[in-house]
Amino acid sequence: MAILQLEDGKVYTDLKDISRELASLNIQLDYWSVGEDPQLHELLAKDSLNEDEKEQVLVALDQYFNELQQTAGYQSRDLIVLHPEIPNLDGLLAKFDKIHTHADDEVRYIVAGEGIFGFVRPDGSQVELTVQPQEYINVPAGTEHWFYLTPERRVKAVRYFTNTEGWVPEYTGTPIHRRQAVA
């Protein structure tokens, strides 16, 4: 279940409250089931997946991709698998942990692990959303955001693209309002 934290420390876990808080950004957050397939669950529980296994996971969840293809013109999907043993994990994550935008929507379906998206709202306030398994998020093009992992440093997410060219972060230079670390 997603968790939204505001700058004043307020925390929301109800999807309705979260949607209201994110409404000014047009962010779409939905629950998408991964289903009951035991083979899929076995793959999702593994830390690292080879290319064949990644493709098996994608195929098992392609009903969602097919829908996005038909309704919104999505062209491709891949599976990103991050865990602490990935070489240069910090280097990979460093690309996205500063405030940036993209020319296209950032569309992710978290299938295992979790990640935190930070957003700058139109009034300048910042919020952080922890996205957990079986949650789909669409961050519209041009939204100032950042992304990092929780201390477990594990996530598997399907990424959906209308076009993979130019999928690069454009840094806006906006500073992140860091909260006091909770002991």
Q: Which residue spans within 3-134 are E strands per DSSP? A: 3-6, 11-12, 28-31, 76-82, 100-101, 106-113, 115-120, 126-131
Minimum gap (Å) between residue 16 Cβ and Fe ion = 25
Shortest distance in whole angstroms from residue 143 CB to Fe ion:
9
Q: Nearer to Fe ion by C-beta: 106 or 135? A: 106
Name the minimum Å distance from CB 173 to Fe ion. 15
Per-residue x/- track, 48-87, Fe ion (CB under 5 A): ----------------------------------------
User: Toward Fe ion, which CB reaches closer, 83 or 145?
Assistant: 145
Q: How far is the CB of 105 from Fe ion (least distance, A)?
A: 10
Q: Which is nearer to Fe ion, 34 or 82 (CB)?
A: 82
Smallest gap from Cβ 177 to Fe ion, in A, equals 18
Name the residue number minimizing CB distance to Fe ion.
106
Strand (E) or helix (H) holding 53: helix 51-60
Structure token pair of residue 123: 């009034």
* Distance in angstroms (rounded) separating the CA atoms of residues 4 and 127: 7
Q: Please state, in angstroms and rounded to a whole number, the distance separating the CA atoms of residues 59 and 7.
A: 39
Number of residues that bind Fe ion (CB under 5 A): 1
DSSP code per residue over 16-36: HHHHHHHGGGT-EEEE----S
Letter for the amino acid at 61? L
> Where in 94-113 is the site for Fe ion (CB under 5 A)?
106
Would you tell me which residues interact with Fe ion (CB under 5 A)? 106
